[in-house]
Structures are given as C-alpha cells and as structure tokens.
Amino acid sequence: MASELRVNTLKDAAGNNSVAMQYVAEGSAKAWGHLAAGGASLPDSFNLSSIDDDGTGEYGLNYTSAMNSATYSATSTINFNHAANNNTRHLVIESKATGSVEVDGGYTAGSTAHFTAYDIETTGSVTVHGDLA
C-alpha cells in the first residue's frame, strides 16, 4: 500500500473549491495597523505591540512577533479629503527591520515635489506581508 500525501486544505461552505493552507498562511498579512489622527496611537492592529512617535511625522511600528528578514513587503495608505486644500498627504515606508517598520507622514504642496514632514491629521494604515521568524 503506497503512502498517501495529505495536505490540509480550506474549502468553501459547500465543501468545494479547496486551497492548500500553505497558500492561505503565506498570503495573509503578518501585521497591520490603523494609525489614529495625530499618528501616536494604534486604535486597532494585528501583530503590533506599540507605536513610537519619533518626531514630526515619523512613527515606528513595533512587531509583537518579528519578521524573518527585512525583505518583506510593507504598504501604507492615508485617508485625506483634498477638497479644502491643495496639499497632497502621504504616508510612506521609511525603513524596515525584522522588529519594526518606520513610516513617515507628510505632504507635498501644489506642483512642487518637495516632501514636508507633518503629523498625520487623519487616519492611516500599514499592512505587512512576508515570513515571520
């Protein structure tokens, strides 16, 4: 009798359309955080233990469980209503380490490309994909 390879799978409610669990685990976000207006707090997050206010528009998000290396993917977004202002707000990834990700908030004004650090005045978010240590 040949041995049978068993793979854990996830199926839909009808028991069809299975996908191997390794793809579910590898494709899931390993950390995410919702940054409050002002940027110095995390009202909601996953795998983030704390946030550092490192100066005007500079924040450090610290992982509860570290990443395997600093080559993971991190993305950031910010919510901002441009109607009353010609400034464009940004929340960018400054640097990544196995224990944290650093983000910078700021704006560009008018047609200039100059980035000015600024504490975020609305909400932002960061999502991290990669391998945990």
User: CA quadruple 107, 111, 112, 113: dihedral positive or negative?
Assistant: positive
Tokens of 55: 């100066």
The arithmetic mean of pLDDT across residues 3-16, rounded, is 76
- Integer Cα distance of 103 and 91 in angstroms: 7
- Integer Cα distance of 102 and 65 in angstroms: 16
pLDDT tens digits for range 52-89: 999 999 999 999 999 999 999 999 999 876 666 667 88
Q: Note the pTM of the prediction, 2 decimals.
A: 0.80
